């Protein structure tokens, strides 16, 4: 069931021309996907390219995929070291109507509003800055991470080491 659904989504993704999001399966494993998304305009992630790793379970779409950031990002909903993402749609609010593309779009939307994840953050430093209304401190850290880890130049250097 999962492989049929995954192939259907793959075909739909191929038809949709996404300028700000690239989503594709690993060439050797249809259950492993990678995405690159551009940081939302007008945010501290703007001009960054963020990579995601998506592990699709055999029970998909009944069970949610496991998604994590490969690119380091300063965000309350993202664990600094593991890249784990805390989002309700990837946990208790998952529904089989969600697609991998929908999940990626939701993650980009999460990046647009980091205050939503500051109550129970995976990244306590990011959450504390937001909860203390230190927008300047949060934005400075997030922009620094974006510049250090999410620019095309730095992505290219990482792949060629």
The two structure tokens encoding residue 144: 């620094």
Report the chain's mean pLDDT, rounded to a whole number: 91
The two structure tokens encoding residue 16: 């949709």
First to last CA, the chain: 39
Across residues 82-100, what is the average pLDDT?
95
Query: What is the pLDDT at residue 43?
Result: 96
Contact (Cβ atoms closer than 8 angstroms) between residue 97 and residue 103:
no
Nearest to 5 by CA among 93, 99, 89, 94: 99
Contact (Cβ atoms closer than 8 angstroms) between residue 89 and residue 70:
no
Query: What is the pLDDT at residue 154?
Result: 52
Across residues 18-28, what is the average pLDDT?
91
Query: What is the pLDDT at residue 153?
Result: 55
Query: What is the pLDDT at residue 156?
Result: 44
At 36-78, the pLDDT tens digits run: 999 999 999 999 999 999 999 999 999 999 999 999 999 999 9
Exposure string of 103-130, with b = 16+ CB inside 10 Å and e = fewer, is bbbbbbebbeebeebbeebbbeebbebb
What phi, psi does 20 have (nearest 5°)?
A: -110, 5
Q: Is the pTM of this model over 0.85?
A: yes
At 124-160, the pLDDT tens digits run: 999 999 999 999 999 999 999 999 999 865 544 444 3
- Please provide the DSSP assignment of 89-143 as one string: GGTTT--TT--HHHHHHHHHHHHH-GGGG-SS-SSHHHHHHHHTT-HHHHHHHHH
Higher pLDDT, 101 or 154: 101
pLDDT classification of 122: cutoffs 50, 70, 90:
very high
Any idea which residues carry the catalytic annotation? 86
Give the architecture-level CATH label for domain 2-159. Answer: Roll (3.10)
The two structure tokens encoding residue 87: 């989002």
């Amino acid at each position: 069931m999962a492989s049929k659904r995954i192939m259907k989504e793959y075909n739909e993704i191929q038809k949709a021309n996404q300028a700000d999001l690239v989503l594709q399966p690993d060439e050797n494993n249809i259950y492993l996907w990678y995405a690159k998304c551009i940081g939302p305009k007008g945010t501290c992630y703007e001009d960054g390219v963020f990579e995601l790793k998506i592990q699709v379970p055999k029970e998909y779409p009944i069970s949610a995929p496991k998604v994590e950031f490969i690119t380091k990002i300063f965000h309350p909903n993202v664990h600094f070291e593991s890249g784990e993402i805390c989002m309700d749609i990837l946990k208790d609010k998952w529904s089989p109507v969600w697609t991998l593309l929908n999940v990626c779009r939701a993650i980009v939307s999460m990046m647009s509003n980091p205050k939503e994840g500051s109550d129970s953050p995976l990244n306590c430093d990011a959450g504390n800055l937001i909860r203390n209304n230190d927008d300047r401190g949060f934005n400075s850290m997030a922009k620094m991470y974006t510049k250090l880890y999410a620019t095309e130049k730095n992505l290219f250097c990482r792949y060629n080491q």
